[in-house]
Amino acid sequence: MNALLIFHAALTWLLAGVIWTVQLVHYPLWAQVNGTGFRSYHARHLLRITVLVAPLALLEALTAAILVLWGPRNSWLLASLAPMAVNIVSTFLVQAPLNLQLAKGFDPALHQKLVSTNWQRTIAWTVRGFCVGLALLG
């Protein structure tokens, strides 16, 4: 079995676990951070989650590119690129702008929009994980 594909699958499932944790734990709890403390909490959350996720996501994208360009042609791996694209587009066009607005202070409507739209990424990363898992099976 291809060691790079195994590493890639591990990265994908690690990131799927992180997005589920953010979706079910982190984002919902933001509503409990009151008043002026939210801005500081939010800033620290963004910094720490970025330090955790950015290198993993870059490695995931890099290993996906290497596998697609030079690896065995696997239809499940190719199919996994669609949910990866959903994650990238959703992150930069939806979640990042919402987080920039929330950085100014907690807004219940913006918070609810962030939680509800983040389901796109949560589901997409999970679907991607299953596609990559099926690619492992051959």
Lowest mean pLDDT among 31-40, 45-54, 87-96: 31-40
Distance of alpha carbon 91 from alpha carbon 8, whole angstroms: 20
At 91-123, the pLDDT tens digits run 999 999 999 999 999 999 999 999 999 999 999
The residue with greater pLDDT, 35 or 126, is 126
Q: How far is CA 27 from CA 80, 121, 130, 138, in A?
A: 26, 13, 24, 36
What's the mean pLDDT in 47-73? 95
Res 30: pLDDT: 96
Tell me, yes or no, if the pTM score tops 0.75.
yes
Report whether pLDDT(1) > 90. Answer: no
* Cα-Cα-Cα-Cα dihedral sign, residues 108, 114, 115, 117: positive
Report whether pLDDT(125) > 70. Answer: yes
